[in-house]
Structure 1
Amino acid sequence: MTDRHVPAADSASADRSAELPYVSVEFAAFCELHEPRYRSYARVWFQEPGAAHRVVRLALHAIAAVWPTVLESPNPAAEAWQILRDTVTEQHNGTAGAAGTGGLRPDVEGDEDLAILHYVVGLATPEIADVMGGDTASITSQLRQTHRRRATDW
């Protein structure tokens, strides 16, 4: 699996543990895997890297607060993704009219999230499955359907 995102030049990736609560080794591993992709996604909505970083940190703190529940869920990655999406939407709505959103709405449907992760962020379908908690075949199918529906809009 490749990781195609490029971390922001000003990202605080060197000292991640100082900002996030230590919940468990599993949570630390989860953050190492998902935080860069979450940040790449958040940069679609908050093009200022510092804002995207802060929003992702808020989401990770929210995930940490319910980590045992997330782990006990049938699909922890999907639970965490929903918390991220809720945080992005809440923060974006709180900064309505923020520059750099390109006219896009953060309250997009799941298929549009797939398209953003694939076409804008540059993740392959297996990576999207990891991030969103889906299976690769289903995501591939949804991306095809989204592409067909949206092709006339582009």
Structure 2
Amino acid sequence: MEFAAFCALYRDRYREYAHSRLDDAGQADTAVRLAFAELADQWDQALRSPNTNAYAWQLLNRHLRTHTHVAEEAERDGQEESVSRAGLQDRSFLPDHADGARILHQDLGMPLPEASELMGHTTPRPR
């Protein structure tokens, strides 16, 4: 039941994020579907982790990277371009967590506290 609630809460945001990372909507949807399938198999482990959201976010990004690499290989082989290489190069200097926060906040208009929660980062406490 907790897993179903997690999916209902985050699936649409994961899809939005995946669509912003991959030009091919089908690949983006597949990456999200595979990430949730893997999370379902590892749900008990995710719940025992320090932060379930961070655990799930890492799975999603791993699947997105896999789809990005597949698309880049296809492009190198002269097949249909699936990933905007210019978009990847523009952000390649950012670590994954910073790039993800930038996409969620600036590109998708998500408030920073919500983006932080989605990614499994706690909001820093004021000193």
Q: Which runs of 5+ in 2 are unaligned?
A: 76-80
1:86 and 2:69 matched: no
Q: Which structure 1 residue ranges, 4+ long, deviate > 4 Å from structure 2?
A: none
Amino acid at match of 1:136: T
**Aligned equivalents of 1:77, 1:70: Cα separation in 2:** 8
1:56 and 2:43 matched: no
More helix by share: 2
Residue-pair matches, total: 114
Which residue is 1:37 aligned to? 13
Amino acid at match of 1:41: Y
Q: TM-score, normalised by structure 2?
A: 0.80
1:87–1:50 CA distance, 2 compared to 1 (3 A): same
Which residue is 2:103 aligned to? 116
1:136 and 2:123 matched: yes
The alpha-carbon deviation at position 47 of structure 1 amounts to 2.6
1:47 and 2:34 matched: no
1:103 and 2:79 matched: no
3-state SS, counterpart of residue 86 of structure 2: coil
Give the alignment's Cα RMSD to 1 decimal. Answer: 2.0
The alpha-carbon deviation at position 91 of structure 1 amounts to 1.3
The alpha-carbon deviation at position 66 of structure 1 amounts to 0.7
